[in-house]
Amino acid sequence: MQRVFGVRSAWTLAGERQVPIKRDAHGVPHVYAQTEADMYRGIGNCHGTDRGMQMLLTRIIGQGRASEILDASDDMLRLDRFFRRMNLAAGTEEELTKAPPETRELALAYCAGVNEAFEERPPWELRLAGYRPAPWTPADLVLTSRVAGFVGLAQLQGEMERLLVEMVQAGVPRPHLEELFPGRLQALDTELLCRVKVGERLVPDALRWTNVLPRAVASNNWVIAPKKSASGKALSQLVLRVPRKFGTRCGSSSFPTPCSSRSTGSGGSRPTPMRLRPSSGIHLRPSS
C-alpha cells in the first residue's frame, strides 16, 4: 500500500477478482474492476475512505441520534426531534425488498467496500467521541438517500419558492423573474403571491445543521450550455429544481462545462449507475 501525506494513493481489494485502486495526480481514486460487483465494492471503499465522516454523520442525524452520539445539547435534541418526526428511517428494509435480486447483491458489494474502509481507518473525529460505527448496510443506503433527497430537494425547493414569493412582494420586475426562472412562470399569479403571508421556513432557522452536517448542495453539479441541448436552453443536473444563474461548482472548483463520470468496458462508454464525484474514475475490464 502506498501513501502520500498519510493518504492511501494505491491499494488493492480482494473481491470476486483483484480490485486495484489508484489515485491520480489530483488525488481522485480510480477503481479498476473486472466485474460490476467489484466496481461497487471499490467505489464503496473509496467513499468510506474519503467521505466516511459525511456518510456516518448523515446516518446518525437521519436516525435522530445526534444528541445521543455527538453532543447532548438542546440544539442537537431539537435536531433529533425534527428528524424523528420526519421518520426517514422507517420502512428502509421493506424498500429493499422492491429491488431486483441483482440490485441487492450490488448494494451488498458496495456496503462491503464501505465496511472494509471503516474497519481499517474509521473517521478520527468519531473515534475521539468514542463512537464505533455499526456496519454499513443496504438499509443505510436508503436512509442516507432520503436524507440527501430531503436536504437537496425539499429544503432547496422550499427556499426557492419562498425566494420567488419574497421577490414578487418586493416588486422585482417580471422580466427579471423570467430571467431567473426561464420557462417556469407562465401561470404565475403575482397578485395572489402578493397576498401570501410568508411564515416559518420548511426547515426552521433553529434547525440549520450546516455546522453539523456537511453542506449537501453543489457537491456533484453540472450544466450544459444552451447550444449543446436539443431545446436550445441550458440543462442542469438540478433541472426542474433550482435555477443556476451564478455558475456551477464541482467538488471544490468552478467549472464552465459539464462534469461527468464514465465507466468503460468492452461495450464502449456508458454512464455509471450511481452518482459519483465529478472526476471519479471507474474502469470496467472485460473478464479474461
Domains of the chain and any CATH numbers: 2-284 (1.10.439.10)
Residue 134 DSSP label:
P
Q: Of 4-18, 55-69, 182-196, 197-211, which range is least confident? A: 197-211
Contact criterion met (CB below 8 Å) for 284 and 255: no
Site of grid cell 452518482:
275
Sheet of strand 18-23, all strands in order from the earlier edge strand to the far edge: 2-4, 7-14, 18-23, 29-33, 281-284, 262-265, 268-271
Residue 246 binned pLDDT confidence (cut-offs 50, 70, 90): very low
State the pairing for strand pair 281-284/2-4: unpaired
Contact criterion met (CB below 8 Å) for 179 and 246: no
56 CB-contact burial (10 Å; exposed 0-12 / middle 13-18 / buried 19+): buried
CA quadruple 277, 121, 146, 219: dihedral, nearest 10:
-30
Residue 143 binned pLDDT confidence (cut-offs 50, 70, 90): very high
Within 10 A of 112 (CB to CB), how many other CB atoms are there? 18
Average of pLDDT values for 243-258? 31
What predicted TM-score, i.e. pTM, was given to this entire model? 0.63
